Amino acid sequence: MNRVILILLFSYLCVHTFAQYSWTEIVKTIPISYEPYLAHKTAYGYSVAIDGNYAVVGAVDYKIGAEKRGAAFVLEFKNNVWQVAARLMSAESGDNQCFGNSVAIKDNLIVVGNSFRSSVFIFVKPESGWSNSTQTAKLSLSGNQTGGMLGQVVAISGNTVLASASGYTYNNNDGNYDRCGTVCIYEMPVGGWTDMTETGKIFPQTKRKDQGFGASIAVEGNTLVVGAPEGNRDFGISTIMKGVAYVFQKQQGQTWLQATPSARLDLSKDNSVFCINVAVSPNEQTIAIEYPRGYSGEEEHMGEVAIFEKSSGGWCDTNVETAILIAPSQSQNNYLMGGICFGADGKTFYAGSGNYQNHGCIYMYEKTDGLWQYSRQIEASDGTTNANRNFGKSIAVSDNGLQLIIGADDAAYVYVKSPATGFNKTDHSNSVKLYPNPAKDYIFIENADGSVIREIEILNLNGQQISCLCVSDGKIDIRSVNKGLYLVHIKTDKEDLFIKFIKN
């Protein structure tokens, strides 16, 4: 029997504060089994996904006994704490699997990829809630293509699962296109998920050998973006591989089987190892494509992200990048080489730099007045004490934009965003004091600068309002508030403040 423990770093909350809002690290999660955790690396944090009060974290090197089987851990926000709710695994035994290399979650469905076994696994939430279990169903490739790398990336779109297979070999009367790649479509049967092969496949307009179509995919609404790192390999354009990103769209009410190709996005640089990661904004107006290396003439560019904006006529082959995002400083191997994703508003973008000062960070960019610009940096609270942590290797933002989960080497961190109204000071402010902290029945507010307190609200660690409190002569009754750690938002006539608070 194994157990899983969630380590909560409540003693050190890392707060990043900016003009309109901040990201606050509320928890670092690590799975620990009866087997000594540090005896082997689990690669927990290799992949992450989040949806409301649940998140899922892939651990591709997780061991059962001597077998490196891989696992996916479900995190649940419950009783004002993010905690491990379940461990999901494949029912298949065997060493050196890659279960958990990709994950997705939406409502009651979790999808986990195992590209080494060219398989995708479906988990449906039981009525009693998530618990340790093996798969509900297994998705496979037809034609017994065990080397197709199915599950390299997975995504959920309504009742459909999309899974890339960049190693898929396409056969037709003209011959074989080894490792052409494909994106497989799995539509949920009427009776629910069961073991099955794909309902259909999506291919690039022009099929070529070794183009790796499907090395990365991103889905939002009716838009699918597929990366092909060697999409121009046989075009004769360059002496090295040059990547391409393909855009597919479907009409409202259509299925992905009816999706049509809309655009083929090329980077304007002469040569680029392109499309390592792709992302599409929730409003489907912006596409981001990460590439580890590019050239413009003789000049080499490392670890950048190209931004493409949808034109008034829609996505088309003539779309060119409107911005190139780079790390603020490209010294000490500080490049954008990690997870990428857009914020819920479509005007914020997050990119990981796993090599930043040997522990990694997240860079945030914002679109203001039509221009994408670097905005801020997020680091783990323990980053400086954990070299080579690769913080930022995977990133996901919740649909409401209030939670951010970040993967690292053998850890995953959850951050919460401040209220939409914003604030400009943290609990280091000298203008307002809150005491005692921790407290049991009452807390007191002292405003040394004579400011007038307009409102006080208590937020849980998901950024959601728990209660709006009244102040009477500086005294606040908190007896009705449950025990736990909270974020207290104090609004005065001069400023907004954000203070950590523990209720005993």
State the virtual CA torsion across 58, 61, 63, 68 in degrees, nearest 10: 130
Asked if residue 490 is part of any domain, the answer here is yes
Please report whether residue 95 resides in a domain.
no
* Range(s) of the domain holding residue 451: 432-503
Residues in Cβ contact with 497 at an 8 Å cutoff, skipping those fewer than 6 apart? 423, 425, 426, 427, 429, 431, 432, 489, 490, 491
Residue type, 192: G
Q: In the prediction, which pLDDT does 9 show?
A: 32
CA nearest neighbour of 118 among 158, 66, 154: 154
| Domain-located, residue 118 | no
Residue 493 belongs to a domain = yes
Pairing verdict, β 411-417 and 403-408: antiparallel
pLDDT at 206: 77
Bridge-based pairing of strands 133-134 and 81-89 is parallel
Characterise 94 by phi-psi region: left (phi > 0), alpha (psi -120 to 50), beta (else): left
pLDDT of residue 328: 87
Three-class SS of residue 449? coil
Does residue 300 sit within a domain? no
Q: Would you call 144 helix, strand, or coil by DSSP?
A: helix
pLDDT given for residue 455 in this prediction: 77
Does residue 387 form part of some domain?
no
Residue 494 inside a domain? The answer is yes
Closest CA to 403 of 68, 3, 23: 23
This prediction's pTM:
0.82
Report yes or no: 72 and 432 within 8 Å, Cβ to Cβ: no
- Rounded Cα distance between 437 and 440, Å, is 9
In-domain check, residue 204:
no
Provide the number of structural domains found in the chain.
1
pLDDT of residue 148: 84
Q: What amino acid occupies position 119?
A: S
pLDDT of res. 473: 67
pLDDT in tens, 65-93: 778 889 999 999 887 788 889 999 999 88
Averaged pLDDT, groups of 10, the chain, 504 residues long: 34 40 79 50 92 94 84 90 90 84 97 94 96 96 80 97 90 65 96 97 82 92 92 51 86 94 81 75 95 60 86 88 86 80 94 85 92 92 72 93 90 76 40 82 80 78 70 77 80 74 82
CATH number at residue 472: 2.60.40
Can you spell out the DSSP letters for 392-448?
TSEEEE-TTS-EEEEEETTEEEEEEEPPTT--SB-TT-SSEEEESSSBSSEEEEEET
